[in-house]
Structure 1
Amino acid sequence: MSADKQQCGFLVESPYVELAVEVFGMLADATRVRIILALDAAGELSVNHIADIVDKSPAAVSQHLAKLRLARIVGTRQEGQRVFYRLENEHASQLVADAIFQAEHSLGGTPRHHHAGEDTR
């Protein structure tokens, strides 16, 4: 095991394990995963724009964003009356990408992300 992993808490007895489980729980919702994909693609979006992309009501998206914000997965920027959301860092989008890659493996055959030279995202 590398020294970097030890410093980051990649040990069985790491105090971050429980927090990691909370992150997985937060991402265990299709709408939230779609919100993260939308923000990863666009960088920054308003609630209404996210609602259009994920095909949910602005009220429902707002509730999901509030939870993601409490978990510090998304952050906000206010411009006048409008609030724009963005991912706080690249880790949530990487988790979602890895989960989608794992899902592709469950279908059998050679997953799309294993095809050389193709854009997988």
Structure 2
Amino acid sequence: MQALASPLRLRILTSLHARPRTVTELCELLEAGQTTVSNHLRLLRHLSLVSGRRDGRRVQYVLYDDHVSELLDDAIRHLGHLHRAEH
């Protein structure tokens, strides 16, 4: 859950939920610096939430497995539930 506490890490995970992406693609999509995105990806890799697959000189980042995808779906559904309960 610590990984989901950062809005940028949550946005990275959500972006990777859609499809694999490189650091450059994530930086452009999230409008964040390369160093910042790389640091967050390092933590997400350490927590076994994402993995990197080498494609020549590039690394494509993906969600680690289906369990991470399900966890992300559940967290987003829960946030939606909390938002509806406030109104």
Give the secondary structure class of the aligned counterpart of 2:9: helix
Residue in structure 2 matched with residue 90 of structure 1 by the alignment: 66
- Relative contact order, higher structure (CA 8 A, sep 6+): 2
Quick check: which has more Rg, 1 or 2?
Answer: 1
57-66 vs 71-80, which deviates more? Answer: 71-80
Query: What are structure 1's unaligned runs of at least 5 residues?
Result: 1-23, 110-121
Match of 1:116 in 2: none
Deviation at 1:61, TM superposition (A): 0.6
Contact 2:23 2:34 in 1 (8 A): yes
CA RMSD of aligned residues (A): 1.5
Comparing 90-99 and 57-66, the one that deviates more: 90-99
Which SS does the other structure have where 1:83 is aligned?
strand
2:6 aligned with 1:37, yes or no? no
In the superposition, the TM-score normalised over structure 2's length comes to 0.84
SS at match of 1:85: strand
Percent identical: 33
* Structure 2: runs of 5 or more not aligned: none
* Match for residue 74 of structure 1 among 50, 56, 74: 50
The structure whose residues are more often helix, as a share, is 2
What residue identity is the alignment partner of 1:35? I
- Superposition deviation, residue 80 in structure 1: 2.7
| Alpha-carbon distance between aligned partners in 1 of 2:43 and 2:35, rounded to the nearest angstrom | 13
Q: How many residues align?
A: 85
Counterpart amino acid of residue 33 in structure 1: L
Alignment of 1:1-121 (within 5 A): 24-42=1-19, 44-108=20-84
> Equivalents in 2 of 1:25, 1:107: separation in Å?
20
